[in-house]
Structure 1
Amino acid sequence: MKAYQTLLYYCYSHIQDGEQYTAQHLKFCKAHGLKGRVIIADEGINGTVSGTVEACKAYMDYVYADGRFNATEFKIDEVNEPSFIKIHVRYKSEIVYSGLKNPNYIDPTKQTGKYLEPKEFAEMKDRDDVVVLDVRSNYEHKMGKFKNAVTLDIDNFRDFPAMINELAQYKDKKILTYCTGGIKCEKASALLLKEGFNDVYQLHGGIVKYGKEADGKDFEGKCYVFDNRLAVDVNKVNPVLISTCGNCGTTTPKMINCANPECNKHFTQCAACGEELDGACSIHCKEHPRKRPYDGTGYYVKIPQPVAPKVARV
């Protein structure tokens, strides 16, 4: 058993004291040495946290003890070291930005697509009357996706509502939505139902759970994750690598953030091009005056700027 764990989870649940709870949540995480990113909004909680096995157990107990998050399902990965360097707990308007002018148009606590457990998803996904829909962003599905899945040309999930008209051709099919951990599917499937799609499903627990319970069969490539691992293996049955270097086209499993902080693009890049461009996605970014030092990982931690000392006024 490894010394550390990484927890991926979310829960849609109406919260009345979101800002106050955010401060309390951050205090608990700091007290237990947990690292990660947690978003809290009036519609629920979404996070990835990492720490010792004992700290992660305490964290799960803390979340369940609240009472509002009993539907939370934690996806647990054993890791050799924490998957984050810092802890951020932030209060935002939504735990996943929907892109809707009126976010209340959908409510995942009331209506979403029917849950499919991983083995049910595996049994249904290849039927003729089914369309498997990836609701993630470009950089995610370029790293890995289900075989024959429909993918969307979107940079962020907030762009998903604009794709509804393009998806209208599938209204007579069963729509099986999926994402990394399930959170985006809750909103995507809810919106599809609102827009007249009648037979909508979602992969419960997302790609991560599918890898654990269905051995990742027919998931091609790696799964992009939102921590310093960047991508993880999923398929234990028939793995294949599909991601290619955005510079030279060579097959590569490596994902970086561009070393130019003003670009910071999620980018698949082979080791050779990474070395040649010093972690940048292009020559232009390589020559940027604020380009960050490249250590071979392509993962960067924001460095807090020094705060000027206050000058006493007489």
Structure 2
Amino acid sequence: MKDYSVLLYYCYTPIADPEAFREEHHRLCLSLNLRGRIIVAAEGLNGTVSGLREDCEKYMETVKADPRFARIDFKVDASDKHTFAKLHVRHKPEIVHSKLHHIDPNKRTGIHLEPLEFKKMKDQDDVVVLDVRSDYEHSVGRFKNSVTLPIENFRDFPEKIDELKEKYKDKKILTYCTGGIKCEKASAFLLDQGFENVYQLHGGIIKYGFEADGEDFEGKCYVFDNRLTVDVNKVNPTVISTCYVCGTTSDRMVNCANPECNIHVAMCEACGETMHGACSDTCKEHPKVRPYNGTGYYQKELNGYNPLKGLKRAKAN
């Protein structure tokens, strides 16, 4: 058994004083030696963190003990080390940037389908499986025959609504994303815009991998930690992405070595070595290009990182 866990979670629930809660939550994470990214907003909590398995279990118990988060659904993956180098707990207007401030998933959202329910329903003739993630995410992995959108960020999703209406207004729409959070607002927005039969994959791709063995999810799932991608499909895995440089089949995801580009693309090992991790000759010769270490992941400089930064009443020794 691996010593570390990686948690992915969210919960839409009213938080009366999000800044005070942010401070309290920051201290909790420090006490448990967790690392990762957590967003607190008046509408709820969203996070992905890593830590020793025992510390993550304590964290989940503590969070669920708060009545506001009693129904939170933690997706738990095993790891042999931390998947983050830092801890950031931030207060923001939304727990996922969407431009859909008027949408409250607690009032109305798509019908939640558990992974096995989603699996049973996804191939029916009157169903459209809709990926609401960004283009670089679905470029490396997506459900078979799913509809994908050419969007760079989830906040661009509302701009595609007219196109979706024109093509799929009378269909059953099954939305999915990495862990479920984007689908809460995406499915609610579809209902708001007149779609009548809207569903969402509860727990997202990650939970589908755990409970339905990832069947018919093609490629890998993009994740927002040091791993970049994770395997999902244990039944009929395939590779759908191609190297950005040479076009050969590859599911090896990298960030361009030029920090001013930093695009997320698939790149085979051979091109990674030849291009020194850069996506183009221009980026390869950029004066700020980062040294390539063979992984395509560039750990952000710690630059005097202080895990206590942001706390109002505590200072580093």
Q: Could you say which TM-score interval applies, normalised by the shorter chain? A: over 0.9
CA-CA distance at 1:23 after TM superposition: 1.6
Show the 5 A alignment for 1:262-301: 262-301=260-299
Aligned to 1:24: 24
Distance in 1 (CA, whole Å) between partners of 2:236 and 2:68 is 39
Counterpart CA distance in 2 for 1:46 and 1:229 is: 19
1:91-102 map, 5 Å: 91-100=91-100
Output one character per residue of 1:163-204: Cα deviation in whole Å (capped at 9) or x when no partner: 001101201100000000000000100000000000000000
Per-residue deviation, 1:76: 0.6
Q: How many angstroms does 1:301 deviate by?
A: 2.3
Task: Percent identity, please.
Answer: 64
- Taking the aligned partners of 1:271 and 1:126, their CA distance within structure 2 comes to 35
1:304 to partner: Cα distance:
4.3
Does residue 62 (structure 1) correspond to residue 59 (structure 2)? The answer is no
1:99 Cα deviation after fit: 2.5
Determine the C-alpha separation between the residues in 1 that align with 2:304 and 2:237: 46
Alignment of 1:56-135 (within 5 A): 56-100=56-100, 103=101, 105-135=102-132
Q: 2:249 aligns with which of 229, 242, 251?
A: 251
Q: Which residue matches 1:15?
A: 15
Shift in Å, 1:233:
0.7
Q: Tell me the SS of whatever aligns to 2:69.
A: coil
Alignment deviations for residues 27-49 of structure 1 (CA, whole Å, 9 cap, x no partner): 21112111111111111111111
Deviation at 1:67, TM superposition (A): 1.9
* Displacement after TM superposition at 1:206 (Å): 0.4
CA–CA distance in 2 between the matches of 1:58 and 1:250?
Answer: 45
Matched residue of 2:19: which SS?
helix
Matched, 1:144 2:141: yes
Inter-partner Cα distance in structure 2 for 1:291 and 1:62: 43
Counterpart AA for 1:17: D
Which residue identity does 1:149 align to in structure 2?
Answer: S
CA–CA distance in structure 2, aligned partners of residues 55 and 188 of structure 1: 33
The whole-number CA distance in structure 2 between the counterparts of 1:302 and 1:83 is 13
Q: Which residue of structure 1 aligns with residue 162 of structure 2? A: 165
Paired residues in the alignment total 304
SS at match of 1:68: helix
Q: Mind listing any 5+ residue stretches in structure 2 that lack a counterpart? A: 306-317
Q: Tell me how far apart the structure 2 counterparts of residues 99 and 232 of structure 1 sit (CA, whole Å).
A: 29
Q: Residue deviations 1:256-313, cap 9 Å, x none?
A: 1111111111111111111111111111111111111111112122224469xxxxxx
After superposition, the CA RMSD in angstroms is 1.2
Structure 2 partner of 1:194: 192
Residues 73-97 of structure 1, C-alpha deviation per residue, up to 9 Å, x if partnerless?
A: 0011111111111111111111111
SS at match of 2:68: coil
Q: Which of 274-283 and 161-170 deviates more? A: 274-283
Inter-partner Cα distance in structure 2 for 1:215 and 1:302:
33
Corresponding residue of 2:222: 224
Q: Which runs of at least 4 in structure 1 moved beyond 6 Å after TM superposition?
A: none
TM-score (norm 1): 0.94
Match of 1:7, SS?
A: strand
